[in-house]
């Protein structure tokens, strides 16, 4: 059976449903849940759930969590129906009024308006002490069409910090983790990496004195210790272009970003991109034609332009006269 990936709000609701079931469910309630969700067999066939309920055994909460998670991972569209049937939202409003607002209030639906339109979205997980270096990295990544979310810089003071971080995690395309001493001990960094792993989002670890560890230890890290933000951004862009599922979109983002760069920087980055051999000639041709090159920039890149055939007009089709096949 295929399992669905629930978003953060659904996971919170499932956690509340689980708590409600542990605190209040009777045998009759479990039967009703099974009928609503089409999971009655899953409930009655569980080796411990109803037995542990009847005998008030210590493992009952674990059985509840296991069964409810399985039900909603199979079909998360049933979550709101179950909440309405048992009035779980009203119960939670009385029990946890402050948390209720974040789980069941419509205000929890926020837009992630901090991303730059038309750019690849990269959430940067870092220690708070790195704010200045991360701000420089953000600027350098923007040259490559990558919009970086830096929590300490991108969250407006009037907004709830955790909600903005969550919005960034839910809408990111990739996560860039600056792995350095102290990263492993940071609860926030660990949760951000875990979020990316749960969403199956690509992680690009930047090794700044510490190697990737745990479940994201399988990702090859980029060594950035002692490197400038421009150098780190170049290597991040190259790593993402090496991933086929990101390449075409990122090249479009790069073309958009290059169009607004100063000539010197634009020429430098185009030459770097060409040297990586990650884009085909046709892809480079399209990028050059979309990058709003000035005459000076075209002159500086004339070798590359000629090689990939950029800005050439297609050969006109040969017109064949109706009389060409009539002999004298």
Percent of the chain with pLDDT over 70: 89
The CATH number covering residue 146 comes to 3.40.50.10140
Residue with tokens 């609701």: 13
Last residue of one domain, picked from the residues 63, 84, 108 = 108
What residue numbers bound the domain in which 153 lies? 120-239
Contact 176, 123 (CB under 8 A): yes
Same domain, 69 and 89: yes
Dist. CA 305–CA 292, nearest whole Å: 13
Contact 278, 238 (CB under 8 A): yes
Same domain, 203 and 103: no
Assigned domain for 151 exists: yes
Assigned domain for 178 exists: yes
Assigned domain for 327 exists: no
Q: Which of 56-70, 94-108, 131-145, 269-283 has the lowest mean pLDDT?
A: 94-108
Same domain, 219 and 266: no
**Does the pLDDT at position 124 exceed 90?**
yes
**Does the pLDDT at position 3 exceed 90?**
no
pLDDT of residue 2: 43
Same domain, 60 and 161: no
**Does the pLDDT at position 326 exceed 90?**
no
Same domain, 129 and 179: yes
- pLDDT tens per residue, range 280-303: 999 999 999 999 999 999 999 999
Last residue of one domain, picked from the residues 86, 108, 130 = 108
Which one is predicted more confidently, 147 or 322? 147
Assigned domain for 246 exists: no
pTM of the predicted model as reported, rounded to 2 decimal places:
0.64
Assigned domain for 23 exists: yes
Same domain, 187 and 214: yes
Mean pLDDT along residues 118-138: 90
Number of domains in the chain: 3
Q: Which of 112-126, 282-296, 311-325 has the lowest mean pLDDT?
A: 311-325
The whole-chain average pLDDT of the chain stands at: 88
- pLDDT tens per residue, range 52-91: 999 999 999 999 999 999 999 888 889 999 999 999 988 9
Residue 44 — very low, low, confident or very high, per pLDDT cuts 50/70/90? very high
Same domain, 206 and 283: no
Assigned domain for 254 exists: no
Mean pLDDT along residues 262-270: 97
- pLDDT tens per residue, range 147-172: 999 876 555 544 467 778 888 998 99
pLDDT of residue 25: 96
Same domain, 263 and 230: no
Residue 109 — very low, low, confident or very high, per pLDDT cuts 50/70/90? very low
Task: Give the closest residue to 192 by CA, choosing from 209, 217, 167, 211.
Answer: 167
Same domain, 83 and 128: no
- pLDDT tens per residue, range 184-232: 888 888 889 998 988 889 999 999 999 988 888 888 889 999 999 999 9
Assigned domain for 294 exists: yes
pLDDT of residue 154: 52
**Does the pLDDT at position 13 exceed 90?**
yes
- pLDDT tens per residue, range 230-256: 999 999 999 999 999 999 999 999 999
Same domain, 136 and 35: no
Last residue of one domain, picked from the residues 79, 108, 137 = 108
User: Which tokens belong to 321?
Assistant: 């006269």
pLDDT of residue 130: 78
Instruction: List helix spans (H) across the chain.
Output: 8-24, 27-37, 40-44, 49-55, 60-74, 79-86, 88-95, 97-104, 131-142, 151-154, 161-171, 187-199, 229-241, 244-258, 263-276, 281-290, 295-300, 302-308
pLDDT of residue 108: 39
Same domain, 144 and 228: yes
Same domain, 267 and 229: no
Instruction: Give the phi and the psi of residue 223 in degrees, each rounded to 5.
Output: -75, 115
Assigned domain for 56 exists: yes
């Amino acid at each position: 059976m295929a399992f669905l990936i629930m978003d953060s709000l659904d996971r919170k609701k499932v956690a509340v449903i689980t708590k409600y079931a542990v605190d209040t469910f009777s045998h009759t309630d479990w039967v009703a849940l099974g009928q609503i969700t089409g999971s009655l067999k899953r409930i009655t066939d569980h080796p411990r759930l109803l037995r542990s309920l009847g005998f008030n055994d210590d493992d009952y909460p674990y059985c509840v969590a296991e069964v409810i998670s399985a039900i909603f991972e199979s079909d998360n569209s049933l979550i709101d129906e179950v909440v309405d049937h048992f009035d779980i939202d009203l119960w939670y409003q009385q029990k946890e009024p402050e948390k209720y607002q974040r789980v069941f209030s419509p205000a929890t639906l926020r837009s992630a308006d901090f991303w730059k339109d038309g750019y690849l979205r990269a959430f940067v997980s870092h220690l708070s002490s790195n704010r200045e270096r991360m701000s420089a990295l953000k600027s350098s990544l923007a040259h490559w069409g990558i919009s970086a979310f830096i929590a300490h810089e991108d969250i407006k003071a009037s907004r709830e910090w955790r909600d903005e971080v969550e919005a960034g995690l839910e809408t990111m395309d990739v996560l860039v983790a600056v792995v350095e001493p102290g990263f492993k001990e940071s609860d926030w960094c660990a949760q951000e990496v875990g979020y990316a792993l749960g969403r199956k989002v690509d992680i690009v670890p930047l090794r700044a004195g510490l190697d990737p560890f745990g479940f994201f230890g399988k990702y090859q890290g980029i060594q950035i210790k002692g490197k400038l933000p421009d150098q780190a951004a170049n290597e991040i862009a190259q790593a993402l272009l090496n991933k086929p599922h990101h390449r075409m979109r990122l090249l479009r983002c790069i073309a958009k970003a290059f169009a607004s760069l100063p000539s010197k920087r634009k020429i430098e980055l185009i030459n770097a991109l060409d040297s990586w051999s990650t884009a085909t000639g046709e892809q480079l041709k399209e990028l050059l034609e979309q990058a709003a090159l000035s005459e000076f920039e075209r002159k500086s890149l004339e070798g590359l332009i000629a090689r990939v055939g950029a800005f050439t007009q297609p050969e006109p089709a040969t017109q064949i006269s109706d009389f060409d096949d009539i002999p004298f």
